[in-house]
Structure 1
Amino acid sequence: MSVADLPKIELHMHIEGAMPPAFARGLAQEKKIDISGIFAGDGSYRYRDFRDFLRVYEAATQVLQTPQDYYRLTRAVLEESAASNVVYTESFLAPDFCGGGDVTAWRDYLGAIEQAAAEMEREAGIVMRAIPTAVRHFGPEQAKRTARCAQETAGRFVTGFGMGGDEAMGRQGDFAYAFDMAREAGLRLTSHAGEWGGPESVREAIRDLRVARIGHGVRAIEDPALVEEIAEAGIVLEVCPGSNVALGVCRSLARHPIADLRRRGVKVTVSTDDPPFFHSTMRREFNDLSEVFGWEAGDFDALNETALEAAFCDDATREAVAKKLERDDA
């Protein structure tokens, strides 16, 4: 079995960002929405840099207007993940795009997403859990509305709360109230940091939001004391190597700090982030890491073990997923 064929756990994937370009174009045609400007000649998403990526991302979400749209999207995304032998996935869902942050509308969207996830679990064996996520550049007040949506639907399917978006918008601590709301509901916490904001944004997320995981976090490598702090605290980094290279956070995979972070005792996991935007899949992530760093099956088993331990799910789900990770040749 090649490393690309191994079963996988993914903890950092945005459901809108995982929308296949063909799916977006098809839905746009059905709804007579012109989003042709966001595609390159080969049909892939086209953007210049991170800010432009955010613009294209939000333009693509225009086609997602009803719970049924998200039902279809969830099935399409999970089919792609299952094709990479992902057995467990956590997806960031933005209530801002699912009813504008209104709790009643969010329930309808979430119900459609959960229905699709349940069907795909029966049909393909892939388990999905949801992490409602605030969009940072929409501001702290809107984040509170997102947290309210998360509070009201916390349970077996909605298991966490997070924040993505533009790290240049304010500071992590500006969103502490929303994270406190989610924490009070028993939700586990994660926040994007250390992608564009530098090491200090990671330190802020740990100190001010008290998160268990950091989305990306790779620029922590610039601060050795912070790396040591993360390792000692057991904070888990949701690393997305292909995304970091595609967006220019790292010049190449060979210069990506994931291997160095592992050597220094930091708990890292591997995910795709927004796979079609970065021409990535979990199969490709595993294969590329193996080729560049010489990682073998045992290394990826260790990554999966870390991800399973860090997953925002209940113990029964964790035990069931552990069985899916078992290999005859292990």
Structure 2
Amino acid sequence: MSPRTLVLSILGTVTVGVAVLSMAVTYQILVPRFGAWATPTVAALDALWVVVQATQVLAGSNRRRARRVEYAGLALTAALAAIPTVDLAMTLARTHAGFDMAVVLAPAAIVATKIAWWVVLPSLGRKTSETTRQAIATKRQSVNDRLEEMEADAAHRIELLRVATVLERQVGEAETDYRRATLKAEQRRTEKLHSQAVKTAETIAEKPLPDAVTDIVLPELDGWEPTALALPGTGRHALGTQVNALVGTRPGTSRDTDGTGVTLAELAAVRGVPTPAPGEALTDDQLGVVLRYLRYNEDPPRSYRAAVKAFRRLGYIGSEERVRRVWGAQVSIDDAAHGDNDGEDAADESEEAGVL
């Protein structure tokens, strides 16, 4: 049995019961006045009232037909409820005596039953087949499931937001504490550094460092290689002595025939300057290192003209005037340091550089 049929069955049973009650009360009221005619009159009124209620159900979605039987049912309801109501009022006005409870219940039951039909019927809808009812029930269940999921998601979202609010507050407090501690540590460090900086400034003002200390070039990790520097006090020029110690020969002489020799980086390290690089501006010391390397990295040593060509070819930067001046200075140093026949060649090269 479908829910719709169950509701209609209950309403029909109640309606029949109210009709029986109405017949009993109306018969008692009308029989003294109509006699034998009271029975068919009462039966016709109550039977017609029940039929009108059933017809309203059968009218279904046809609003025009349903409206007709609805109006007829209202009229019959008013008539059936009016009979015991009027009799009760007349009896009370005439005798002021007690009254039968059934006389009071009858009109109330009739009106209540009609109201029940009027309220329930529009909600029952049309009569449908089992297949249609099953399809509607499936869709309704799907909608209910979705609504339940939405409510659950909303509840989860609300709970998440509440927890997130608490956590955000805790995180904010922790971040504030951390930043406060960091600022305090920075304050203490700044105060100590400031105090030390004041003392350092006073020391520097009282005891300035010599320039020789600041001129010391510190080694770099990537380009550092251990070198065996010559001991001072050999009576030769420092640069020439150290180069001789590294190369194993003195400037102006033939190099070892086994191919070993000093590199540009080693010469720069001996001189205490950064390794010269092509394309970069060179100091006089770096320029001297490059020229010395180009002069003695071949056997026999290059002349000024050949060294300058190699200098330009390798991409080193230096004006002709600076190159000529540094070359001449090196030739003079080598000549003064060795004082032998090679000095004549050095003088020739120095003169060549001056002419060029």
TM class by smaller structure = under 0.3
Larger radius of gyration: 2
Higher relative contact order (CA 8 A, sep 6+): 1
TM-score (norm 1): 0.21
Q: Flag the structure with higher helix content.
A: 2
Give the TM-score, by structure 2 length: 0.20
